[in-house]
Structure 1
Amino acid sequence: MSWNWQTVTWAAIALLLFAAEAMAPGAFMLWLGLAAAVVFGLVLVFPGLTVLAQVAAFVLLSFVSIQVYRTWFRGRERQSDRPLLNRRADQLVGRVVTLERGIVQGSGRVQIADAYWDVTGPELPAGAAVRVIGTDGMTLRVEAVT
C-alpha cells in the first residue's frame, strides 16, 4: 500500500461527495461517493493503475451504483399517512364554499378560513355555493352546487 497523490485525491473526492450528500441530502452524491471510495480502495491495492483506468472505473462504478439505487432503493420509502399535508390546494377538493366574488369570464374568488383563493368555473354570481372539484396550481376549479 502506498499513499501517493492519486490515493489521497480519491480519498478527498470520496469525502467531499459524502459531505455534499450530508449538506444537500438527496441520495445522489452518496452513490458517487461510494464509487470514489471503491476507486480509492483499488488505487491502494493496485498502485500502478493509470489515471485513465481510475477515471474509467469511477465513471463505470458511478453508473452502476446509481442504477442500483434507482432499481432497488428509490421509491421504497415509507408512504405517508397524510399525503396531502403540504399540498393545501389539494386538501380543499370536495369542500363546498361560497363565492366572495362571482365568476365572470371563467374567473372568480372565494375565501376559505383566512385565505383568498382564485377559482375557475362556470359563470356564477357572488354568494353562490360552489364545490371544489380540482386544482390547477394554486387556482381551484369549482362547479355549482345543485
Structure 2
Amino acid sequence: MLARIIAELGPWAWWVLGIVLLILEVLMPGVFLVWIGIAAILTGALSLVLWEQAAWTWQVQWIVFAALSLAAALVGRRIVRSRGDKSDQPYLNQRGRSLVGRTAVLEQPIREGRGRIRLDDTVWTVEGPDLPVGARVRVTASNGRDLTVEEA
C-alpha cells in the first residue's frame, strides 16, 4: 500500500517526506530533523526536473537524499555554531564560578587546606593556605562544590 502511494505521488513523495520531517521538528525540537527535511525537499525539487530520466532511479534518489542530508547537517551545524549567542547571565546554574573575584572573611579557619566562608546567604567550604578566623580572602576558582581562595 505504501509503495502504491509513493508511486502515485511520484516526485511529490519527497516533498511530502520533507514537510513531515519539518512538522516533526516542530513537535520534537532538536534542530536536526530540519536539515533532513530540507534535504528531502531538495531531492523532491531535483525529482521534479529529472523524473523522466532513465538514470533517476529510486536508488539514485536515495543516494542523492543521503548526500544532501549529510551536507545539510554539516552546513546546519556550522550555522548554529556561528550564531554565537551571548548570554546575559553566563554563570546561570554555575553559582561557584560567579563568585570568583569576590572577597570574604573566614568564618572558620583554614586548617590543613580547608575552611569556611560566608558569601551572601551561603556558607562555602574553601581550600587554600592555612589562615586564622577573620582573615580576608579572595575567591580565585571554583570546582562546583568548593571554592579556592588566597589571602586578600
TM-score under structure 2 length normalisation: 0.69
Query: Which of 24, 31, 47 is the aligned partner of 1:27?
Result: 31
Q: Distance in 2 between matches of 1:54 and 1:29?
A: 19
2:83 is paired with a residue whose SS is coil
Query: Which of 137, 141, 144 is the aligned partner of 2:148?
Result: 141
Query: Which of 3, 14, 23 is the aligned partner of 2:9?
Result: 3
Q: Residue 102 and residue 68 in structure 1: after superposition, are their counterparts in 2 closer, same or farther (change >3 A)?
A: same
Q: Residue 143 and residue 20 in structure 1: after superposition, are their counterparts in 2 closer, same or farther (change >3 A)?
A: farther
Matching residue of 1:87: 94
Q: Distance in 1 between matches of 2:112 and 2:16?
A: 61
Matching residue of 1:61: 68
Q: Distance in 2 between matches of 1:3 and 1:14?
A: 14
Matching residue of 2:43: 39
Q: Structure 2: where are the runs of 5+ without partners?
A: 1-6
The share of aligned pairs that are identical, in percent, is 38
Q: Residue 12 and residue 3 in structure 1: after superposition, are their counterparts in 2 closer, same or farther (change >3 A)?
A: closer
Query: Which of 54, 58, 61 is the aligned partner of 1:51?
Result: 58
Whether 1:121 aligns to 2:125 is no
TM-score under structure 1 length normalisation: 0.71
Q: Residue 58 and residue 144 in structure 1: after superposition, are their counterparts in 2 closer, same or farther (change >3 A)?
A: same
2:82 is paired with a residue whose SS is coil
| Shift of residue 61, structure 1, vs aligned partner | 0.8
